[in-house]
């Protein structure tokens, strides 16, 4: 009987996902905040009526629809472009953020951004691999434990695509790993990408 390969986990200092990049990503939220503030200003000069309710509600609805855009996903995609694996190396790849519990980052930056790293999660025939800015992870599917979907939580208004969470057998004291997609510009795309990422891993781990 062939023995399974050991999982690999490596952390190094970030170069792309730097403190400046994290602050820049946070500022993308203004794309959603500014229209809401403008709508409130417009309503303040209108006579009370249906429009004073409809304009803010419509603006908030549109802003929520484009929540991934406000998370800076286009900027994340540009940052992560050099990290993309060569074509053909994996069957499927997803642009993702990685959050480990316990956290890799700490302090103010960990509060500002819930991701520890960004990069690409790829699925090959026998293992999954995360190629990030500071984290490298390679895990045979048989080492994946406690795979589940987890809601993105209040920071994502409980609406963003769910996170794929799992633990790794053979890596003591590393905790759990949560992956969230970062390729979408709107909520339907986020949920679609997140669901597909989880399904692909679930299929692989069931074989």
Match 């730097």 to its residue by tokens: 18
Output the tens digit of pLDDT for each of the chain's 207 residues: 444 589 999 999 999 999 999 999 999 999 999 998 888 888 888 888 888 888 889 999 999 999 999 999 999 999 999 999 887 777 889 999 999 999 998 888 888 889 999 999 999 999 999 999 999 999 999 999 999 999 988 888 889 999 999 999 988 788 999 999 999 999 999 999 999 999 999 999 986
HSE toward the beta carbon, residue 94, CA cutoff 13 A: 27
Distance from the Cα of residue 76 to its chain's centroid: 10
- CA-to-CA separations, 53 to 50, 191, 206, in angstroms, rounded: 6, 29, 50
Q: Are 64 and 159 in contact (CB under 8 A)?
A: yes
Please give the model's pTM, rounded to 2 decimal places: 0.91
Domain ranges of the chain: 10-22+71-206, 29-69
The Cα 148–Cα 167 span in angstroms is 10
CATH 2.30.29.30 fits 10-22+71-206, yes or no: yes
């Amino acid at each position: 009987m062939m023995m399974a390969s050991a999982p690999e986990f490596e952390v190094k200092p970030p170069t792309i996902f730097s403190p400046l990049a994290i602050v820049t990503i946070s500022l993308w939220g203004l794309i959603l905040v500014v229209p809401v503030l403008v709508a409130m200003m417009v309503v303040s000069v209108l006579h009370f009526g249906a429009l004073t309710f409809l304009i803010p509600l419509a603006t908030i609805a549109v802003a929520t629809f484009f929540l991934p855009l406000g998370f800076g996903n286009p900027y994340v995609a540009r940052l992560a472009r050099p990290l993309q694996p060569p074509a053909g190396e994996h069957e499927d790849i997803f642009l993702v953020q990685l959050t480990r519990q316990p956290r890799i980052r700490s302090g103010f930056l960990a509060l500002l951004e819930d991701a520890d790293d960004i990069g690409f999660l790829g699925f090959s025939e026998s293992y999954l691999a995360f190629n990030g800015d500071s984290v490298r992870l390679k895990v045979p599917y048989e080492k994946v434990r406690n795979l589940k979907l987890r809601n993105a939580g209040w920071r994502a208004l409980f609406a963003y695509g769910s996170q794929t969470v799992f633990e790794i057998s053979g890596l003591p004291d590393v905790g759990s790993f949560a992956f969230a997609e970062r390729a979408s510009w709107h909520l339907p795309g986020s949920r679609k990408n997140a669901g597909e990422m989880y399904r692909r891993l679930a299929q692989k781990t069931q074989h």
